[in-house]
């Protein structure tokens, strides 16, 4: 076990017990690199005019980023739902990375961590622009 925080052990076991194959791969990668995560951590979003609670696959609290695994892009309804989720997260300013089944090739962990890093840089740039404008 990488982390000793109470609850993470249950999270790893929960993903292994309840997660899809892709979610299991992501959880193992996060564990391997010592990245703390919470599985299906609740998130309130405004969707179609109502506040709803969604459960993104992973929350990386130390980086302020959510991750969603996208496993079935062959189903049109599923794909439409993913596009809707992306729009809701974007409109709400929720940083969320979407990992697709076909992303698991080559040095995919490096690409995932690169996307986390880009998300952090993007938010820092926004903060810098506020600082330059007002301070």
In a domain, 100, yes or no: yes
- In terms of C-beta distances under 8 Å and separation of at least 24 residues, what long-range contacts does 90-96 make, across chains too? 91/46, 92/45, 92/46, 94/43, 94/45, 94/66, 95/64, 95/65, 95/66, 95/119, 95/122, 95/123, 96/56, 96/65, 96/66, 96/67, 96/68
In a domain, 33, yes or no: yes
In a domain, 1, yes or no: no
pTM (two decimals): 0.83
Cα–Cα distance list, 36 to 63, 65, 93, 109 (Å): 9, 11, 22, 15
Range of the domain at 78: 8-134
For residue 2, name the pLDDT band (cuts at 50, 70, 90).
very low
Say which CATH number the domain at 12 has: 3.40.960.10
In a domain, 2, yes or no: no
In a domain, 65, yes or no: yes
pLDDT in tens, 90-133: 999 999 999 998 999 999 999 999 999 999 988 888 888 888 88
In a domain, 107, yes or no: yes
In a domain, 97, yes or no: yes
For residue 1, name the pLDDT band (cuts at 50, 70, 90).
very low
pLDDT at residue number 8: 59
Q: Say how many domains are in the chain.
A: 1
In a domain, 3, yes or no: no
């Amino acid at each position: 076990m990488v982390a000793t925080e109470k609850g993470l052990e249950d999270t790893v076991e929960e993903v292994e017990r309840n997660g899809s194959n892709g979610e299991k791969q992501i959880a193992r990668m996060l564990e391997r690199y010592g990245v703390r995560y919470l599985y299906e951590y609740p998130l309130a979003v405004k969707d179609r005019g109502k506040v709803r609670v969604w459960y993104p696959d992973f929350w990386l609290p130390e980086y302020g980023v959510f991750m969603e695994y996208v496993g079935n892009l062959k189903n049109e309804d599923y794909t439409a739902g993913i596009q809707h989720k992306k729009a809701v997260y974007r409109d709400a300013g929720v940083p969320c990375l979407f990992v697709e089944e076909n992303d698991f090739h080559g040095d995919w962990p490096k690409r995932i961590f690169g996307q986390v890093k880009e998300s952090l840089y993007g938010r820092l740039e926004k903060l810098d622009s506020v600082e330059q404008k007002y301070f």
